Structure 1
Amino acid sequence: MVLRRDLLRYVAARLALAPVMLWIIASLVFLLLRVAPGDPVDALLGLRATPAAREALRVQLGLNQPLAVQYVTYLRDLIGGHLGTSLASQEAVGQIIKASLPATIELGCMGLLLGAVLGLAVGFSGAAKPEGSVDLAGRLFGIGSYALPPFWAAMVLQLCFAVWLHWLPVGGRFPATLSPPEQPTGFYLINALLAGDGTALLASLRHLALPAFTLGLLLSGIFEKVLRLNLRRALRSDYVEAARSRGLREWRIIRRHALPNALLPVLTLGGITVASLIGGALLIEVTFSWPGVALRLQQAISQRDYPVVQGVVVVVAALVVAVTVAVDVVVAWIDPRVRF
């Protein structure tokens, strides 16, 4: 009962901090956009527009109001679930995000899965046989994959697998010659499975493979380092030495005693990595012309489209906060030491 009370107190504290974090992020993006150089009126009308046309558009967009009034209006609309209208296309920001978010989630989940599998496999191999050639190769792999510039890695993989070998498409989410499967989820892989369309499924996987592998390769070094360090620390702990003294096999000691404790930091890392996916996905989506929110965000920033930038950042921040809180709760439920 005491442990359950502690867990509920921890969960309540994390949930209470979530709205505060979102308010800080929303306020920062609002202020940074206003103080950044450039004017959305110039982006929409160009520098040759007449002063009267510029002023009329400024009044229409509400940019003539004081900054405090704009901020209060922005927060009121945000609380009410209204993300605004794009200055460039006059399309609702919510619809823009709804159309592009599934592509980013699909790419991010597949990249995170590939990165975790690849990194954990390399890290486990190195920790199980420390100070050997496998451990050295794993360390070099972790350092190299973590240090790779995303845009450079993406272009090299495009050159190898798309230009030279012609195995995979160079970019895009679906072939232009085919119609994507029409289902309400927005995820092409799930849509193809629901429709039983093997051609669409294969086409989606071929287009997803290269950007997802690139993103997974960049993330794998983090998982490799965390698992290797924690697993080696666990293998030197007292409870592992006690298990060895009882005559248990080394593989059983690793699997039953050391590995479960070493995986807890990896679980926490998975939640933190969701935030870093946004920065990596931006360069990956731009390089591969992947129609996700990161690519849409880059376009909105170049156009000084305030509502789209604000809406995308707030929605992505809400997803990151939700995933982080969920991971923290799971870790606290597994490991009672986190609650104190």
Structure 2
Amino acid sequence: MDRSNKLLRYLASRLLLAPVMLWLISSLVFLLLRVAPGDPVDALLGSRASVAAREQLRQQLGLDQPLPMQYLDFLGDLLKGDLGTSMVSAKSVGAIVRDALPASIELGFAALVIAIVLGLIAGFSGIAKPEGKIDLAGRLYGIGTYALPSFWAAMVLQLIFAVGLGWFPVGGRFPPTLVPPSGTGFYLLDGVLQGNWQVVSGALRHLALPAFTLGLLLSGIFDNALRLNLRRVLRSDYVEAARSRGISETQVVLRHGLPNALLPMLTIAGITVASLVGGALLIEVIFSWPGIANQLQEAINRRDYPLVQGIVVVVAALVVLVSLVVDVLVALLDPRLNF
């Protein structure tokens, strides 16, 4: 069987597994929310509400139904594309997710670009002189940024650059003195498309610090990955053969080592998308960023079952989709890969 047929079979198997993964994640979230301590009725009415009021609200929310019936209703709505209605705001969960998702994607994409740039610079810096001072500094950078507690790093950077120096706003996504642009929901993109550079400047100024914070914390992943892959590649037989032909070390690294070392970085970038969800939760809360992670934190605190379930399903679908795209790209770019 040729490679194209194997690739198609691999893609088909991944597409068939995606709904199964989403079903398992959705079912697990549904079950965990129901067995976790606490009652959404108490969160909505308070502990002093009368028994009659509590029972009436429980019926309205469908919580009086047996757990299997609640689960079947949840799956039925999910198959129809209905994520439900928020218990707290009575708004459609789909509408809440659509409003918050662009902010999180904008923050996540900017943070991922910063993480890749910083990680590649740090990972490549010590190749000229392994085990030297620059190489040691790069390794310490990779370990340190990966091990830093995100909440601590965010508050320190916030105190330095927002409170102390005043270079950036303390929080928020857009200046309160300006009207947010209408369009795609991505403020930077909308500002560029509309030619409104005041909007672009305001959105970029609010985005810079949270994106840099999250990118800095994730850059250690790319630093360590590039460092290990590049060293392994530079010890391979074909690189030694290139050196024996009299090719300069710079050309060996740039033409033979770096392209092969960068291929696994695609997989690392796909995995980092899942890390962005957890990392963005604390960053969005600390910087008051109105994204989907912030909505998730509020929904968990309020025991808003439909909103938590809807956000987790959407995020899981995005992670599965990105992982699928990355796997296909790696398979297309790396002929050595077997399926």
1:93 matched residue in structure 2? 93
Distance 1:278 1:160 in 2: 25
Distance 1:232 1:336 in 2: 21
2:209 matched residue in structure 1? 210
SS at 1:144 equivalent: helix
Distance 2:127 2:276 in 1: 26
TM-score by length of 2: 0.99
Distance 2:128 2:66 in 1: 62
1:52 matched residue in structure 2? 52
TM-score by length of 1: 0.98
Alpha-carbon deviation of 1:310?
Answer: 0.1
Alpha-carbon deviation of 1:337?
Answer: 3.7
Distance 1:242 1:16 in 2: 43
Q: Write out the 4+ residue segments of structure 1 that deviate beyond 4 Å after TM superposition.
A: none
Alpha-carbon deviation of 1:72?
Answer: 0.6
SS at 2:27 equivalent: helix
2:250 matched residue in structure 1? 251
Gaps of 5+ in 2: none
SS at 2:64 equivalent: coil
Please provide the CA RMSD for this pair.
0.9
Percentage of identical aligned residues? 69
1:191 matched residue in structure 2? 190
1:142 matched residue in structure 2? 142
In structure 2, give the amino acid aligned to 1:72: L
In structure 1, give the amino acid aligned to 2:249: E
Distance 1:162 1:173 in 2: 14
Alpha-carbon deviation of 1:133?
Answer: 0.8
Deviations 1:155-201 (A, max 9, x none): 00010001111111111000111111122x10000000011001110
Distance 2:243 2:13 in 1: 41
2:181 matched residue in structure 1? 181
Say if 1:10 and 1:339, in contact at 8 Å, map to a contact too: no
1:184-333 correspondence runs (5 A): 185-333=184-332
Alpha-carbon deviation of 1:208?
Answer: 0.2
Alpha-carbon deviation of 1:127?
Answer: 2.6
In structure 1, give the amino acid aligned to 2:277: I
SS at 2:127 equivalent: helix
Distance 2:12 2:205 in 1: 43
SS at 1:90 equivalent: coil
Say if 1:127 and 1:229, in contact at 8 Å, map to a contact too: no
Say if 1:104 and 1:292, in contact at 8 Å, map to a contact too: yes
Say if 1:7 and 1:339, in contact at 8 Å, map to a contact too: no
Alpha-carbon deviation of 1:153?
Answer: 0.5
Distance 1:182 1:33 in 2: 35
Distance 2:128 2:313 in 1: 42
Distance 2:163 2:249 in 1: 46
Distance 2:338 2:186 in 1: 37
SS at 1:336 equivalent: coil
SS at 1:257 equivalent: helix
In structure 2, give the amino acid aligned to 1:25: I
1:113 matched residue in structure 2? 113
1:129 matched residue in structure 2? 129
Alpha-carbon deviation of 1:128?
Answer: 3.4
Distance 1:299 1:5 in 2: 47
Distance 2:128 2:194 in 1: 44
2:3 matched residue in structure 1? 3
Instruction: Single out whichever of 206-215 and 2-11 deviates more from structure 2.
Output: 2-11
SS at 1:57 equivalent: helix
Distance 1:128 1:12 in 2: 43
Distance 2:27 2:128 in 1: 47
In structure 2, give the amino acid aligned to 1:289: S
